[in-house]
Amino acid sequence: MKYDLLVHNIGQLILPKSSSQPLKGQEMKQLDIIENAALGITDGKVTWVGPDEEAASFGSSERIDANGKVVSPGLVDPHTHLVFGGSREHEHSLKQAGVPYLEILAQGGGILSTVTSTKKASEEELFDKASFHLERMISHGVTTLEVKSGYGLDAETELKQLRVVKKLKEKYPISIVSTFLGAHAVPPAYKGKENEFLKEMTELLDEIRDAELAEFVDIFCETGVFTIDQSRQFLQDAKDKGFGLKIHADEIDPLGGAELAASLNAASADHLVAASDEGIEQLSRSDTVAVLLPGTTFYLGKDHYARARKMIDEGTAVALATDFNPGSCVTENLQMIMSLAALKLKMSAEEIWNAVTVNAAHAIGKGMDAGTLEIGKAANFVVWDATNYKYIPYHFGVNHAHSVYHSGNKLWERKPYGEIQLSSAR
């Protein structure tokens, strides 16, 4: 047997179960682990997985000694707002003073403040800034992610953001899925004329589809933003035009976004902090993935988190994401979200790994391509500075990634230790 690349001496190889559907409820507790494993890669694809001792005699053009470390599939971040202008640290003190998120938005700040900065920025500036944040995500183990527009709220700027995502796809050898979130907020000029605004956003859909600028359409369904009826109409129009659906659902108020997502067979319903019992039940009976964003709840300073335990116990498919954005969750670090899921959502380590790999992939229509390390799939994997998989959510707030690979190619590797200058030149 001869491989292009053989990763050997793996302490634990994490193998989420692959399926054409996301893992639901109890299935999320299953996580296969091979101790002392090896991984064979040919033409960028996984071609062999098994015990290290069997691999000892295999030939390979290149070998990587994992030194007893954990190896997992590349992480999948299924909800990010990666492309934006400016930043919002000036709103931090408002938050500290207890001004609610929707109040800051109603005063023309929040999302609308980032809209102003994004309109001002050139396409090149947005691209450079997004590249910086994307490289930080990759260095934290992400090899597949979703990126939304939504800081334009007019044709010109929304298309500018989506073109930036397309250029990121062309530049970076990873997997990026693009979502049109033109319905992210109501521009001040359209206050009271929300239907008119949504009509304009709907009119962009043909152009976006024909230019292959987005695969999914999303809407912020929330008090003071878009109603359930408006969301249903907008998403149905997008579905009719062939887009996959996502919803910012029941983040602050229980409007019925979870129910809407299930009834439209959306790929995902995201946030769900306030989802009703009925909403959770309907999700559990659907294939819609509940994408939970505990980093956002944490960063907004709230005590009440999405009811992940109830969702999983009732049979819902749960995924986790950063929601990286300049206002409600300013981190590129999905590992930090894994720790919050353990501490605040009370998810087990097995559920968490499934939620950032296979289920996250299903939430963005990549279930058959990403999130697992089965034979024939792209060899996207991370070598971790840990000897067991439970260690990573346990030790929070730092980067545990040792090296990150996409299709068998190394994208990133941390610097070796021992480089701290022990005496400084005066």
Residues that bind Fe ion (CB under 5 A): 323
Q: Tell whether residue 412 is a contact of ligand NIG (CB under 6 A).
A: no
3-class secondary-structure state, position 75: strand
For 97, the token pair is 């003073």
Residue (259 or 323) nearer to ligand NIG, CB: 323
Binding-residue total with ligand NIG (CB under 6 A): 13
For 272, the token pair is 């769900």
Contact status, residue 202 vs residue 232, Cβ threshold 8 Å: no
Site pattern 65..84 for ligand NIG (x: CB under 6 A): ----------------x---
By DSSP bridging, strand 216-221 and strand 244-249 are: parallel
Q: Tell whether residue 296 is a contact of ligand NIG (CB under 6 A).
A: yes
CB neighbours (10 Å) of residue 35? 12
Q: Tell whether residue 220 is a contact of ligand NIG (CB under 6 A).
A: yes
Q: Which residues contact 66 (CB under 8 A, 6 or more apart)?
A: 7, 8, 9, 10, 11, 383
Q: Tell whether residue 161 is a contact of ligand NIG (CB under 6 A).
A: no
Residue (302 or 410) nearer to ligand NIG, CB: 302
Q: Tell whether residue 111 is a contact of ligand NIG (CB under 6 A).
A: yes
Q: Which residue has the CB atom at the shortest distance from ligand NIG?
A: 327
Q: Tell whether residue 114 is a contact of ligand NIG (CB under 6 A).
A: yes
The span from the CA of 247 to the CA of 225, in Å, is 13
Q: Tell whether residue 327 is a contact of ligand NIG (CB under 6 A).
A: yes
Piece in contact with ligand NIG (CB under 6 A), picked from 21-29, 235-243, 322-330, 343-351: 322-330
Quickly tell me which residue has 């498919």 as its tokens: 317
Beta bridge partners of residue 289, listed in sequence order? 268, 317
Piece in contact with ligand NIG (CB under 6 A), picked from 44-52, 108-116, 238-246, 372-380: 108-116
Q: Tell whether residue 179 is a contact of ligand NIG (CB under 6 A).
A: no
Residue (143 or 328) nearer to ligand NIG, CB: 328
Q: Tell whether residue 322 is a contact of ligand NIG (CB under 6 A).
A: no
- Which partner from the list Fe ion, ligand NIG, none does 400 bind, CB cut-off 5 to 8 Å by kind? none
For 226: left if phi > 0, alpha if psi spans -120 to 50, otherwise beta; the answer is beta
Residue (152 or 326) nearer to ligand NIG, CB: 326
Instruction: Give DSSP secondary structure letters for 267-324.
Output: SEEEE-TT--HHHHHHHHTSS-EEEE-HHHHHHTT-S----HHHHHHTT-EEEE----
Residues forming contacts to ligand NIG in the complex (CB under 6 A) are 81, 110-111, 114, 220, 248, 251, 296, 323, 325-328
